[in-house]
Chains A and B, each alone.
Chain A
């Protein structure tokens, strides 16, 4: 069973770049059957899909975040990364790492990591 573990700084200053990583265990990030995604949830609010990436680096992004977000994979470390540029308070959220089955809507989740944007 795949396990996903997010990590990164819990506090980021406004206008700076938020960077998170997700270590994948129990599965290979080089799998051709999956996409790897980031989803976030502001405190007390709903879920928002940020984007996804596959083993070859093919990416899809939420149109509302396009231009500020970059996803990448490191197959040697079996991990994926998220960068969100020019953050504001509205980027404060729990960020979840997720594995999407290609050709299906099945999804596995990490436990999430809280990021607060504040000076």
Chain B
């Protein structure tokens, strides 16, 4: 199984919106409503932002939203803030396994 494709980096100014794409196949992202998104800062464990494509755990700001169309999932960060800088990973169920995305570094200009 191949890693899901994400852009290497995205950037935006404070207050702007950025969207991170996560491209898979009809065997993972396109087949299951089990896509999740994680934020990771250096030296720490990933933090769950979105699960089941669109669901936000309690405590995650509503600035973070998820969606999916076909074989591509997306994470949108609205009203970008300095603390949103970090690495972001998508993850999809793939039948009897899970596959992660290649990761995207978000930079706040």
Binding site for B on A (CB under 8 A): 37, 39, 46-49, 51-52, 60-64, 96, 100, 104-112
Instruction: Please pick, from A46, A64, A112, the residue contacting B100 in the complex, using a CB distance under 8 A.
Output: A46
Q: Which residues of B contact A60 (CB under 8 A)?
A: 96-97
| B89 with A107: CB separation less than 8 A | no
Alpha-carbon distance between A100 and B103 when the two chains are bound, in angstroms: 20
Identify the B interface with A (CB < 8 A). 1, 3, 34-36, 38, 44-48, 51-52, 57, 89, 91-93, 96-103
Which residue of B47, B51, B97 is within 8 Å of A106 (Cβ)? B51
In Å, the complex CA distance between A109 and B57 comes to: 14
Taking a contact as CB atoms closer than 8 A, the residue among A46, A62, A64, A112 that contacts B89 in the complex is A46
Contact B102 A106 (CB under 8 A): no
